[in-house]
Structure 1
Amino acid sequence: MGTKLDNFLDHERKIRSWPAKRSNQKLVIEYLGSKFNNEVEYSEAEVNEIIKQNHTYNDHCYLRRELVDYHVLERTGDGRVYWKPRQEAESE
């Protein structure tokens, strides 16, 4: 029994395609964001390497921008330092 996310992952759990629907894009970006640790500062090269290790279609620049656009990662104005923002507890 798979999840929606499984539709976009290969057998190694790497992202194999970019979804058309925004709701599915968010799932994929949140999954990719789970590969980053809280309270760690990453260089752009380190972010690129983590992304490259977790997708198969060779567009790490696009995925890096999406991580920032979805606020899964934050970055300094010059793009030299990235980090995972603190998540407030969400009440449902």
Structure 2
Amino acid sequence: MRSKLDNFLGKDRKLRSWPAKRSNQRIVVEYLSTNFTEGVEYTEAEINEIIKENHTFNDHCFLRRELVENRLLGRTGDGSRYWKLPLPADENHAEQ
């Protein structure tokens, strides 16, 4: 069975498009957040590289902001360090 997430991924499982519906956007950023490890601090350059490796529409800055705004990544005030925030148990939609 095809999931909502599959509508936005290519055969390589990379994000190929940004959904119009907010509920689907959440599913997509949760999926993207699975490429980061809790307990690890990342530089902005490392975050950008991981995002670039996992999407095909060439807008890593937008996706990084979405990850932060959706509270999937935390960051320092100056943006020099990032880390993965845990998903609340009742909000794990990436598998749908």
TM-score tier (shorter): over 0.9
Runs of 4+ in structure 1 over 4 Å off: 87-90
Q: Compared with structure 1, are the counterparts of its residues 28 and 89 closer, same or farther at alpha carbon in structure 2 (3 Å cutoff)? A: closer
Q: Secondary structure at the match of 1:83?
A: strand
> What is the SS of the residue equivalent to 1:63?
helix
RMSD: 1.4
Q: Is 2:18 the counterpart of 1:15? A: no
Identity %: 64
Structure 1 length-normalised TM: 0.94
CA distance in 2, matches of 1:89, 1:31: 15
With the length of structure 2 as denominator, give the TM-score of the two structures. Answer: 0.90
1:34-70 CA deviation, whole Å, 9 max, x = no partner? 1100100000000000000000000000000000000
Bigger relative contact order, structure 1 or 2 (CA pairs below 8 A, ≥6 apart): 2
Structure 2 residue aligned with 1:6: 6
Structure 1 residue 86 displacement after superposition:
3.6
- In the alignment, structure 1 segments of 5+ residues that lack a partner are none
CA distance in 2, matches of 1:7, 1:89: 24
